Amino acid sequence: MKSMNMQSQQQSITFNRQKGISLVMGLMFLVVLTILGVAGMRGALLEERMAGNTRDRDLAFQAAEAAIRVAEQALAAPPAFNLGTAYTPVLPSGAESAYWLNTHNWAAESVQIGWQPQGVSEAPRYVVERLALNGNGLNAGVPITVTAYRITARGVGMNANTVVILQTISYQS
């Protein structure tokens, strides 16, 4: 009997040690899974933010394109061109993006289109500059005058900090 009692005591000591090690291993496994889960969530949130920013920029781009189309229609009967207005003679800095982003007074010296696209924080605006181009026609020596208009449009996305500036040149003879 004594030998049996000793064997059961040795087995119970061995089982107790195994239960303690399995608990530690299980906790380590849970820590690793938690770290992987948090990393996966961070990646998913980052991708969602990037997709939202891309959508916002696309909205601003489409708003600026809409303003260009409205400006092209307005040139069917060009208005008077005066400095300090939305219809202006050529601006010295008109081809520089920094001027349109930082310097130009969009509130006072631009035309706001008559409607606001859905999902943007403000209606798009445009400025038209008149450029005069002189040159020769197909017959050598026959001068022609072509009037070119540089249209600069500003579109804003859902976030007021998302701004897209587009330019195009429209020719009329």
**How many domains is the chain built from?**
1
Provide CB contacts within 8 A for 124, sequence distance 6+. Answer: 63, 64, 66, 67, 112, 113, 117, 153, 154, 155, 156
Cα end-to-end distance, the chain, whole Å: 118
Write the DSSP string, 47-115: HHHHHHHHHHHHHHHHHHHHHHHHHHHHTTS-----TTSSEEEPPTTTT-HHIIIIIS-TTTSSEE-SS
Say what the pLDDT of residue 11 is: 57
pLDDT at 133: 65
Residue 151 is part of which domain span? Answer: 2-172
Phi first, then psi, for residue 106 (nearest 5°) are -65, -30
- How is residue 68 written in tokens? 């260009």
Look up the pTM and report it: 0.72
Give me the average pLDDT of each 10-residue run along the chain (173 residues). 57 56 87 94 93 94 95 88 87 88 91 89 94 60 74 94 94 77
pLDDT of residue 45: 93
